[in-house]
Amino acid sequence: YLNNTNSFATGPMFSTVGQRGCRLVGSLQLATESGFDLFYLNISRDGGTTWATVGSISGSTGGTFVNLPFSDIPDRSANNRFQINFVSDSSIVADGGYFDNVGVESTSGAPSGTADYQFLQGTSMATPHVTGVVGLVLAANPNLNVAQIRDAILNTGVLVPALNGVVSTGRRLNAFNAISSVMATFTVPVTKNGTGTGTVKSNPAGIDCGSSCNASFNQGTAVTLTATPDAGSIFSGWSGSACTGAGTCAVNSAATVTATFDIPSAPASSGGGGGCSIAQAGRSDALMPTLLLVALGALIWRVSRRSN
């Protein structure tokens, strides 16, 4: 092509009345100065009186034909025309563009009336949805058989009154419910032991022992148990099949866990002397007069010794 070109190729008039999703199709081999020498697609809806630019392209396709990048053509219009316009600047030239098999296609016709939608027998758009959920359910639990997969999907859908009598269950497919219903789980029962009191809680939530000391979790979930003693009690530690020590307890499979809470022992007396304490005697204590006599005799002996 030459520099400073402004060339046009205009197609015949055509109608898209009664059509939807109309597109310009064809193939193109391109070799132009990228960004400076461009092909434009212009569209007219009034037979060519006025034009609107709807797309452009420049550069190279590497010597091969590619699908036209231009797309939309006006739907439901009787006087359409398209025009390919090439514009070049004042420097650098190349081979230009080759257009082949150019035409207009539509994806669908216009609806025939207000009652256009009907129930038809056979495969529908519901099929890939159900098939996809079957794959997800089986991935969540590979041990399921066909009957179990079917029940998981049919029994976990959402009831929709408008579907009663239209589909066998009256339900709308719910992938989340179906997958959740077949997830493999493990159970962690917690037992509390000891003379004290306290609570055990899990993260993620499920165990609050307290009141709920047994919970199930999805297979592979990392569960952390935390023990908190009540006022006046201490946490003495874990025992069972999973945890020891007095920190947090981490499990990711079925396990039995015991949390021991105790009341701490009273501290020993810190009074003076040799650590011996004498309880107050009652009036009926027969030993009391003897102790008093011994003490009195010792006192008299010490006094008489000093006076000598």
pTM: 0.41
Q: H/E/C letters for each residue in 18-36? A: CEECCEEEEEEEEECCCCC
Distance CA 142, CA 149 (A): 10
Mean pLDDT (whole number) for 184-188 = 89
Q: How does DSSP assign 238-283, residue by residue?
A: EEESS--SSS-EEESS---EEEEEEPPPPPPP--STTS---PPPPT
**pLDDT at residue 278, as a whole number:** 47
- Report the share of the chain in percent with pLDDT over 90: 50
Among candidates 162, 143, 29, which has minimal Cα distance to 96? 29
Mean pLDDT (whole number) for 23-38 = 91
How would you list the strands of the sheet with 6-10, edge to edge?
A: 6-10, 81-87, 38-44, 52-57
Which letter does DSSP use for residue 209 in this model?
A: E
**pLDDT at residue 44, as a whole number:** 92
Check residues 7 and 265 and name the one with the higher pLDDT.
7
- Are 203 and 226 contacting, i.e. CB atoms less than 8 angstroms apart? yes
Give the CA distances from residue 277 to residues 271, 272, 280, 285, in Å, rounded to whole numbers and listed in that order.
9, 10, 10, 17
Distance CA 114, CA 104 (A): 28
- Are 84 and 98 contacting, i.e. CB atoms less than 8 angstroms apart? no
Q: What pLDDT digit, counting tens, does each position of 95-139 carry?
A: 999 988 888 888 766 555 555 555 556 666 677 888 899 999 998
Question: How is the chain split into domains, by residue range?
Answer: 6-109, 126-182, 185-262
Query: Which residue matches tokens 């709920």?
Result: 212
Q: How would CATH label the architecture of 6-109?
A: Sandwich (2.60)
Predicted confidence band of residue 304 (pLDDT cuts 50, 70, 90): low
